[in-house]
Structure 1
Amino acid sequence: MFYYLFQCLSDKTDLPGLRLMDYITFRSGIALVLSLFIAIVIGRRIIDRLQLMQVGEIVRDLGLEGQMKKSGTPTMGGIIIILSILIPCLLFGNLSNVYMVLMVVSTLWLGSLGFLDDYIKVHRHDKDGLKGKFKIVGQVGLGLIVGLTMMMSPDIVSRHIAETTDTGSAAITQTVTVDETAEPVAASGHVDIKAPITTIPFVKSHNFNYTSLTRALGPAAALGGWILFIIVVIFLVTATSNGANLTDGLDGLATGTSAIIGTALAIMAYLGGNVIYSTYLNIMYLPGSEELVVYMAAFIGALIGFLWYNAYPAQVFMGDTGSLTLGGIIAVFAVLIRKELLLPVLCAIFYFEDLSVVLQVAYFKLTKRRYGKGRRIFKMTPLHHHFQKEGNPVGADGQPCEVLLKRPAHAIPESKIVLRFWIICIILAVITFVTLKIR
């Protein structure tokens, strides 16, 4: 709204300051401050309203210290995060930008999915909430929307700047694997590439084209590359969204890690959306993607503001309304800035939370068939509960279960677990940037 208002006024008058909206840094700063303000000030009102509506968390007794004290704490606080993101984006974002539109759609899509899950848990008193298959369908649907939009939209391209040599000829400064049909546009001094290109570490040009894996398809190789890309997008959206959902088990854990990941992605988006920095650093330049910095600034501000109430001891939980949305936002954002293959490092905490549950279930079933009694790898999953559990878990027969990983011998306080996970997340973010310099 304000973005278009300032644009209209700047075209008709010469008042000083009207061109500030043209600067990504200015709009991003305003979006961050506003989202922080909304989360803290309006968030307090929403929490009070949730308490009046008796929208409390249903806590199962898992034998964890301080767990039952959380029973009745207002949940569905993800509404605060979503509003704190969307309002600044609607006010200061360029809504004609396809990248911004996709992020707004992703936020609403996953927010609605998570809200429905929380609604079933709280108002219908069904602890299982929305069935897993419906969640998967929703996540797969979003992956399809994002992947197909990136394939079909003419505004989503990677641009490779040409520089003029002494002889006046054009030379591409960035080397990538592109379609053979792509030709440099000599008149404008650049070439726009419409291909499923992404960034990978340890490679000199940092770029990888999915089409290189489907060359055996001949004339259909380009289409095959896009189909492979869409499959990767669907997998990452689903895995990251569920990973963030599983990580949301301790006060401030998912909120803090998501804010750290968001900061790293915002820096990448700013560099990749700036022609000067992208050319200087020899990274992929994505025209129009700089608008994503405004969105991610609102995302970071919303999470920091929400952490005001969600830090230990939490006054509100985000519920699936927030956790499913956070993971999906991170995955879609990484895909849009062509950094999705860096997510296994940057979001390793989310994926280890996913993996811990899968391994625990698989190992339990395998050992039960072999020994007649199931054994466990971890004391409890998701992974963060392993550090919180005192002693070995007890099976259905009331006897202690055999556990492969017995350390730590004693339970670690919840606040310390959260802080250590944050530190690990910061280290992973630094490693993600370092991998781009190791060629």
Structure 2
Amino acid sequence: MLYYLSEYLLHTGNVPGARLMTYITFRSGAAFLLSLIIALVIGRRIIDRLQLMQIGETVRDLGLEGQLKKEGTPTMGGVIIILSLLVPCLLVGNLSNIYMVLMLIATVWCGAIGFLDDYLKIKRHNKDGMKGKFKIVGQVGLGLLVGLTMCFSPDITQRQVTVSDTSTRFEHVSEGSEFAEVSEFSQSPDMKSTQTTIPFVKGNNFDYASLTQWMGDHAQTGGWILFIIVVIVAVTATSNGANLTDGLDGLCAGISAVICAALAIMAYLGGNVIYSTYLNIMYIPGSSELVVFISALMGALIGFLWYNANPAQVFMGDTGSLTLGGIIAVFAILIHKELLIPLLCLIFFAEDLSVIIQTAYFKYTKKKYGAGRRVLRMAPLHHHFQKEGIDALIQIPKRAMAEPKIVTRFWILSILFAVLTFITLKIR
């Protein structure tokens, strides 16, 4: 709402300072600080309220060090993240921007799924929450909503921008000018397109419609159908991957903060005509507003880590983890970076695959040999490093690792994958 107030003051009286709200960088910084402060302030109160309501974690004895100590720790702490994210976005965000609207919808949508899952677990006093098929239906529904909106909304477009005078442009940039002259650029009209970003190719662009050329005049329609399928898979896989990653104190929140930082850079560059042209990356008009959203999310995550770091005073629960995965997937899709998710969110997908492989191999060996065998000591992947003394194909490391060490090393790996994501875009 402060965004619209500043607009009113700017147009009616040119009030000093009102122009600040027109700058993405200022509003992003304000959103980050606001969300961080809100998370720190309300976090303690929400934790106290959860304890008073006896909303605690139910822990199964899996033989992991320090696991039983977590029994009764307040869960559903994802509410802290969601509230700390939504309030700054409503205050300093442009709510008429289609990208901001879609992200707010995705946040509430995934938050509702996670909240219901946590509520059912608490009500039943066990780890069995919402049935998996209902979660999938909700995630598929969000994927359909996002994909169809990107297909039909006239506000979601791409623009081809090329440099017509490279030498002149570089001279302006070297002199410190933030914006080059319009005459240096050749811009196409805004258009609907099924193009997305991929690494290792010149221009870093790939068109889904190129895979449906066999459909003739309907190739573009086929491209959009293929794109929507990819969107559904990305939302479902990333959301569930984040959910599985939330098993150690600070693990999911820390990894998500790193991923968000990388996405913030991509959104800022792709939403700025100068930088996108200079770096030869896709320019998406209006998408710079997403930087405000992702900045608020980073602030909320860091504020949540204040209480979630080992030993955790609160767990985010499915309310937080399902929401984080959904937000990250939708954000990457909106800036046309969905095909970079497998590398950027590699830890999430490794957690996904570890469960799938472990379950499939156990069932296969049980059917073949009469006794199930394991690939990992325990799945999801992060628990493999906590466990020892279990016969499994992979016996590295030989000794169990302390929880804080596992979390820190996963954080470091997430930073590595984020850097590699940027590097792959320069290898053509």
Normalising by structure 1, we get a TM-score of 0.92
Report if the CA contact (8 A) 1:161-1:191 is conserved. no
| Counterpart for residue 319 of structure 1 | 317
Aligned pairs for 1:216-227 (under 5 A) are 216-227=214-225
2: distance between equivalents of 1:380 and 1:164?
Answer: 57
Q: Structure 1 pair 189/281, CA: closer, same or farther in 2 (3 Å)?
A: closer
2: distance between equivalents of 1:370 and 1:130?
Answer: 32
Q: Give the CA deviation at 1:49.
A: 0.5
Q: Give the CA deviation at 1:220.
A: 1.1
Q: 1:305 aligns with which of 303, 323, 328?
A: 303
| Counterpart for residue 10 of structure 1 | 10
1: distance between equivalents of 2:277 and 2:359?
Answer: 47
Q: Give the CA deviation at 1:127.
A: 2.1
Q: 1:425 aligns with which of 398, 409, 414?
A: 414
Is 1:117 aligned to residue 117 of structure 2? yes
Report if the CA contact (8 A) 2:80-2:304 is conserved. yes
SS at match of 2:10: helix
Aligned pairs for 1:37-436 (under 5 A) are 37-161=37-161, 189-392=187-390, 402-436=391-425
SS at match of 1:374: coil
Q: Structure 1 pair 163/359, CA: closer, same or farther in 2 (3 Å)?
A: closer
Task: Structure 1 unaligned segments of length 5 or more: list them.
Answer: 167-186, 393-401
2: distance between equivalents of 1:232 and 1:361?
Answer: 25
Q: Give the CA deviation at 1:126.
A: 4.1
SS at match of 1:240: helix
Q: Give the CA deviation at 1:349.
A: 0.1
Report if the CA contact (8 A) 1:251-1:418 is conserved. yes
Q: Give the CA deviation at 1:162.
A: 5.0
Report if the CA contact (8 A) 1:97-1:291 is conserved. yes
2: distance between equivalents of 1:372 and 1:161?
Answer: 62
Deviations 1:142-198 (A, max 9, x none): 0000000000011111111255579xxxxxxxxxxxxxxxxxxxx994322211110
1: distance between equivalents of 2:164 and 2:381?
Answer: 54
SS at match of 1:246: helix
Report if the CA contact (8 A) 1:64-1:390 is conserved. no
1: distance between equivalents of 2:118 and 2:257?
Answer: 22
Amino acid at match of 2:222: G
Q: Give the CA deviation at 1:3.
A: 0.3
Report if the CA contact (8 A) 2:255-2:414 is conserved. yes
Normalising by structure 2, we get a TM-score of 0.94
Report if the CA contact (8 A) 2:75-2:315 is conserved. yes
2: distance between equivalents of 1:403 and 1:190?
Answer: 57
Deviations 1:362-403 (A, max 9, x none): 0011111111111000000000000000211xxxxxxxxx41
Amino acid at match of 1:223: T
1: distance between equivalents of 2:427 and 2:224?
Answer: 28
SS at match of 1:198: strand
2: distance between equivalents of 1:212 and 1:188?
Answer: 25
Q: Give the CA deviation at 1:135.
A: 0.2
- What is the total number of aligned residue pairs between the two structures? 410
Q: Give the CA deviation at 1:406.
A: 1.4
Report if the CA contact (8 A) 1:255-1:307 is conserved. yes
1: distance between equivalents of 2:357 and 2:400?
Answer: 22
Amino acid at match of 1:23: Y
Q: Structure 1 pair 163/345, CA: closer, same or farther in 2 (3 Å)?
A: closer
Report if the CA contact (8 A) 2:61-2:68 is conserved. yes
Q: Structure 1 pair 162/204, CA: closer, same or farther in 2 (3 Å)?
A: closer
**Two-structure CA RMSD over aligned residues (Å):** 1.3
Task: Structure 2 unaligned segments of length 5 or more: list them.
Answer: 167-184
Amino acid at match of 2:405: K
2: distance between equivalents of 1:77 and 1:365?
Answer: 35
Report if the CA contact (8 A) 2:164-2:186 is conserved. no
Report if the CA contact (8 A) 1:273-1:287 is conserved. yes
Amino acid at match of 1:377: V
2: distance between equivalents of 1:40 and 1:155?
Answer: 36
Percent of aligned pairs sharing the same letter: 70
Amino acid at match of 2:417: L
Deviations 1:251-306 (A, max 9, x none): 00000000000000000000000011001111000000000000000000000000
1: distance between equivalents of 2:397 and 2:162?
Answer: 56
Q: Structure 1 pair 65/126, CA: closer, same or farther in 2 (3 Å)?
A: closer
2: distance between equivalents of 1:165 and 1:404?
Answer: 59
